[in-house]
Amino acid sequence: MTTMAQVNAQVRSLMNDSVTGWLARHPDVPLMYTGDDFDPPDQSNWARLTLLGAGAQQVEFGLYNRYRRPGIVRVQFWLVAGLGSGLVYDYADSVKLILEGDTSTGVRFFATGLPTEEAIEGTWHRWRVDTNFDADELRQV
């Protein structure tokens, strides 16, 4: 069974891995998770991860009911203005290498999209990349 709490834990496990995770690749770029206590750095790049869920679909009936829960792992990057957008592609590639195609946690991560510029906020340029996923939850009837 894969609940949304388990999906959250599994995403964090991959992103926080000490060898292949975010900080292993970008030790000077803090990664925060939506809802966690975090004080963004001044004049330094940082990232935020948010899990977005979509409506579940029942895909199997019988002794066990299977519910497929799709969603998006959204990673947003706040880049200090004037440092160029080249870093966003490096950051996006890191998300892709960490998540894309991984099924080791019971969550199926699909392709990571190209970076999308979201907004300019004062001295920050905000970008994002999305990685679609789904996870199945089995319930015995």
The helix, strand and coil proportions of the chain, stated in percent and rounded to the nearest 5, come to 20, 45, 35
Q: With CA atoms as reference, report the closest residue to 118 among 57, 71, 75.
A: 75
Kindly report, residue by residue over 26-44, the tens digit of the pLDDT: 999 999 999 999 998 888 9
What pLDDT is stored for residue 84 in this prediction?
A: 66
Tokens of 24: 């292993």
**Which domain range does residue 45 map to?**
4-140
Task: Note whether 110 and 131 are within 8 A (CB).
Answer: yes
Kindly report, residue by residue over 41-78, the tens digit of the pLDDT: 888 999 999 999 877 777 778 888 888 888 999 999 99
The burial class, CB within 10 Å (0-12 / 13-18 / 19+), for 45 is buried
Residue 86 belongs to a domain with what CATH number?
3.30.2000.10
What pLDDT is stored for residue 133 in this prediction?
A: 93
Query: How many domains is the chain partitioned into structurally?
Result: 1
User: How far, in Å, CA of 137 to CA of 84, rounded?
Assistant: 43
Average pLDDT over residues 96-106: 90
Q: Pick the residue with more confidence: 141 or 19?
A: 19
What pLDDT is stored for residue 30 in this prediction?
A: 96
